[in-house]
Amino acid sequence: MQQTLNPWITSPVPADGADTASSYVYVPPAAVICAPLRGVVEPDAADRLARRTVSGSAALWVTGAHGGSGESRIADLLEGARVTDHCWPVLQDGSKPRVLLACRADMRGLTAARSALTQWASGAAPELDLLGLAVLADAPGKTPKPLRDFAAIVGGGAPRLWILPWVEAWRHGDATTPPPGREYERFITDLAALSTDTTPSTTH
């Protein structure tokens, strides 16, 4: 699967989609992008997330890169988190919000996340503290290798990346069951610490 390169990536994804133990595992270069970068070109207007002035306060604002991104599910997991309805949040008091970007692990979701991260990296988004990108599985089972590779590339443009597996209970409307697995435990622990940290986001 051919992918358009992100501005922070210089190496292409291998065309071979084979997923075998002996196949070469592509590892994208570390980006460690923690703030907007000079020289990054913002995406077309149609591909940018809108801004929205939000009322009240939150320890963390969860911004979905597209409809169906899972931002409400993510916000339900994190104490003090609120959703922004697929818009960059602008706080009424002028302070800088802490934001988590979320998307699904399909091509539509990852492409939307790439555009949102490009918008942020170009400085076209409002001033905010972007903590990272959460990529939620879009279907049960193992994500195809080309999409896994693309998710790693897209995540290279965020300060941090979390890849989160499918939760079957959510499909049946059960939002009260804690998601199983170490990935969610680590994700919730990480975000709890980051949401209360008083220092700027500086690690990948």
Strands (E), the chain: 50-54, 60-64, 81-83, 87-91, 98-104, 129-136, 161-164
Q: Which amino acid is at 204?
A: H
Q: What is the pLDDT of residue 144?
A: 94
Q: Are 191 and 78 in contact (CB under 8 A)?
A: yes
Cα 191 from Cα 197, distance rounded (Å): 10
Q: Are 43 and 6 in contact (CB under 8 A)?
A: no
> How far from 134 is each of 65, 152, 158, 183, CA to CA, in Å?
10, 11, 10, 11
Q: Which is it for the CA torsion 172, 169, 164, 117, positive or negative? A: positive
Whether the model clears a pTM of 0.85, i.e. scores above it, the answer is no
Cα 62 from Cα 89, distance rounded (Å): 9
CB atoms within 10 A of CB 197: 12
pLDDT tens series, the chain, 204 aa: 444 444 454 444 444 444 444 444 444 445 557 777 777 888 888 889 999 999 989 999 999 999 999 999 999 999 999 999 999 999 999 999 999 999 999 999 999 999 999 999 999 999 999 999 999 999 999 999 999 999 999 999 999 999 999 988 888 777 666 677 889 999 999 999 998 876 544 433
| Phi, psi torsion values for 178, nearest 5 degrees | -60, 135
* Top-level class of domain 45-195: alpha beta
Domain ranges of the chain: 45-195
| Phi, psi torsion values for 156, nearest 5 degrees | -65, -15
